[in-house]
């Protein structure tokens, strides 16, 4: 049986999945991303390993790659990636040669926006903003019912908008980027900076070493009602709402969709974000404030969208 596979590669993990024509994820495989300061070949080997494992005995008809980086307008290269080692890398051609199947390359958040527009919570929306919270922030735009990629293919890089002049250093080389205050890393940083200030199950989770704290630990602790972990989510959620208010002021969308790994926290993140959105959006009392909703596909939205994009690519080639 032939299958289409989506692979989402971010700063910390590779998530691969077999996806059917209705956007349903049949099975997944997860691997760790080798890192940013490594040979790009190590990342591509991790992708290959995940592909072989998730495909099993099925024939692979095409692979969609959702990459956490700046993808060129032609969908051929990753021009720059704050959390991955690719720089002006012809990723699509290299992987097509390696795998021997069609490959579609797309920015991870744009792929996620495609999934939500096609099969998810943004279906039917004329204008929508997608924000993905993981290691950093990704963004995707739907304008006039179509994905908007921009002149260079790099529209939606909301995470690298400067929100604090001369603020925290960012992996992109800038300072004060939104993702430094609103992301998985920002969540962990908040908890580490306040470690020991109050009793917390996080002390046991990381063995008393704040340097060993991870995002999933903070998420699990928040689920147990831990006050420090909940405060971390309120902090990140507030920054999320403020940023989305600014984007809404600029683009006036039908809806705001939040996905990515951090979104798995649900209303622990989204409730403070909705409050901040209402508070921060200009003329909020005199307009329809766009609904802020969780992505239908959650952290899997990128791979679902990527698989659908390569499915469409193969269908067009066969016409």
User: Domain residues of the chain, as ranges?
Assistant: 2-113+300-317, 125-295
Q: Structurally, what CATH architecture does the domain formed by 2-113+300-317 represent?
A: 2-Layer Sandwich (3.30)
Query: What pLDDT, on the 0 to 100 scale, is given for residue 308?
Result: 97
Residues whose CB falls within 8 Å of the CB of residue 270, separated by 6 or more in sequence, listed in order = 237, 258, 263, 292, 294
Q: Are 179 and 156 in contact (CB under 8 A)?
A: no
Q: Do 2-113+300-317 and 125-295 show the same overall fold?
A: yes
Q: Which CATH homologous superfamily contains domain 125-295?
A: ATPase, nucleotide binding domain (3.30.420.40)
The first and second tokens of residue 289, run together, are: 């404030």
Query: What pLDDT, on the 0 to 100 scale, is given for residue 35?
Result: 76
Query: What pLDDT, on the 0 to 100 scale, is given for residue 131?
Result: 96
Report, as ranges of residue numbers, the positions in the chain whose pLDDT lies below 70: 319
Please tell me the distance from the alpha carbon of residue 292 to that of residue 303, in angstroms, as a whole number: 22
* pLDDT tens figures, 171-218: 889 999 999 999 999 999 999 999 989 999 999 999 999 999 999 999
Query: What pLDDT, on the 0 to 100 scale, is given for residue 319?
Result: 64
Pairing mode, if any, of strands 87-89 and 255-259? unpaired
Query: What pLDDT, on the 0 to 100 scale, is given for residue 78?
Result: 97
pTM of the full structure? 0.90
Query: For the chain, first and last CA: distance in Å?
Result: 21
Query: What pLDDT, on the 0 to 100 scale, is given for residue 313?
Result: 96
Sheet holding 25-32, edge to edge: 25-32, 13-19, 2-9, 59-67, 103-107
Query: What pLDDT, on the 0 to 100 scale, is given for residue 135?
Result: 86
């Amino acid at each position: 049986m032939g299958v289409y596979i989506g692979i989402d590669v971010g700063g910390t993990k590779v998530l691969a999945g077999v996806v059917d024509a209705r956007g349903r994820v049949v099975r997944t495989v997860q691997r760790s991303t080798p890192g940013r300061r490594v040979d790009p070949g190590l990342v591509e080997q991790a992708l290959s390993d995940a592909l072989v494992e998730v495909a099993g005995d099925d024939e692979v008809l095409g692979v969609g790659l959702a990459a956490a980086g700046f993808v060129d307008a032609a969908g051929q290269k990753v021009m720059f990636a704050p959390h991955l080692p690719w720089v002006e890398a012809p990723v699509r051609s290299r992987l097509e040669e390696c795998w021997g199947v069609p490959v579609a390359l797309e920015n991870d958040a744009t792929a996620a926006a495609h999934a939500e527009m096609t099969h998810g919570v943004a279906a039917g929306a004329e204008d929508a903003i997608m924000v993905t919270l993981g290691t950093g922030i990704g963004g995707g735009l739907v304008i006039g019912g179509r994905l908007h990629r921009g002149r260079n293919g790099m529209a939606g890089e909301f995470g690298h908008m400067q929100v604090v002049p001369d603020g925290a250093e960012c992996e992109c080389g800038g300072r004060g980027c939104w993702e430094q205050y609103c992301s998985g890393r920002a969540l962990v940083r908040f908890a580490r900076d306040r470690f020991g200030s109050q009793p917390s199950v996080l002390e046991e989770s990381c063995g008393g070493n704040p340097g060993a704290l991870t995002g999933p630990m903070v998420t699990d602790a928040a689920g147990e009602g831990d006050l420090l972990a909940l405060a971390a989510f309120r902090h990140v959620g507030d920054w999320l709402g403020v940023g989305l208010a600014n984007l809404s002021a600029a683009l006036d969308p039908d809806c705001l969709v939040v996905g990515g790994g951090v979104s798995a926290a649900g209303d622990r993140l989204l409730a403070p974000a909705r409050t901040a959105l209402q508070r921060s959006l200009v003329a909020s009392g005199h307009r329809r404030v766009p609904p802020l909703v969780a992505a239908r596909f959650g952290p899997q939205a990128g791979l679902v969208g990527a698989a659908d994009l390569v499915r469409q690519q193969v269908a067009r080639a066969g016409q």
